[in-house]
Chains A and B, each alone.
Chain A
């Protein structure tokens, strides 16, 4: 019990003294996750919009795959990406293994189905009458699409926030493809895993607290967005 209390005391000390190692790990985590989120959103939103707005052969299969991949085990993603990026792999010539770029790719792969599938859900929930209304007012096909996507904006924002949560909390894939190299690819989750193994609980706890705080902020933002999206009739 005493060691836990001592661990927390040291953890808070690291946070309040703005320990440089702690800060560099936090910033790298945020950098990797935010870039991965941008990539996942840039790819996932068009896919979610397409499956939400258009009827085409194979649409059901794509939606089912996206829903399945939402629960993709990170270690499996890490394993496949490792095989692709390792020196003997097909993409080995790019020398990306054990780099932040590899971690961004891994997190993007994990975040993409979340953005795509939840955006799809948000878009199909938009009432068909919105599409009709914009057409009656003279909207071109692209403007109709924009109107529908805009109506789904709160759901789409929730999808993006949920994907950020997944990316930030991810450990398995980034550990495999990032290698957890100090000062280069060491992010919050991988540091927590490593420091716990070593018995250095203060840094692990400090990062755990920060991760929880970030998760809390993300969920608060998600709550506010979802609340804003529900308009109560007077």
Chain B
């Protein structure tokens, strides 16, 4: 007994090996950047809820019309202006068309406009901003000056003018929105490229003999992705809103196809009598925009490396 006690006491004064010293260290599991981003996003309940809602909405928009008994143009004047019933979940409009399916079709159109326009903005903006930022110097100055002049005027005015020129319809809307909103994207991309240009790995890639365009697209652009993704997510609701706005002033898609904006506009005249005409498209529009905004906010928080806990 005494021996062990003595042994223990003497043990205490034994020097520790490095391995024993490191035993207590808390090691954080290393993760790749994108895993980290996804982990953070998952923790944001509101953003995840929005993401789920949007995925659900897209699935509904794609699949429901395939088996729904009514189509968006089936008229049945005897059933006109009905309030929601079991048969017509959202009621009917003034031509007796099922409002539910029209709202779903509206989702198709509004979402298509939103996403397609954003993709166009993305491509144009990335190319313009990427070149401007990478080439730098006088070219950059000139390109940015042009952007500054264009930026002074509200883009909505341009869109309106373009629509007047191009005439109504889906294609025109895409062209009009796609050729105006790229400006903010271009600015952001350029800013990212400028800061990334200074980073060391560009030098490293250069010393390995990579050509200029390779540097641009393989190294710089993926790292600028963060703010680009956020901007794109936020530009979808802008595009959807702009389309609704255009419909409101009479420049939207043509009947009987209807986006949510067109549905809302049509409902204006009679909504005091039949509020459900306006309520459902407006609700769909608002919820979708809300969801994209929350998702964009969540992505922005998740992509910000300074928040790494």
Is chain B a partner of chain A in the same complex?
A: no
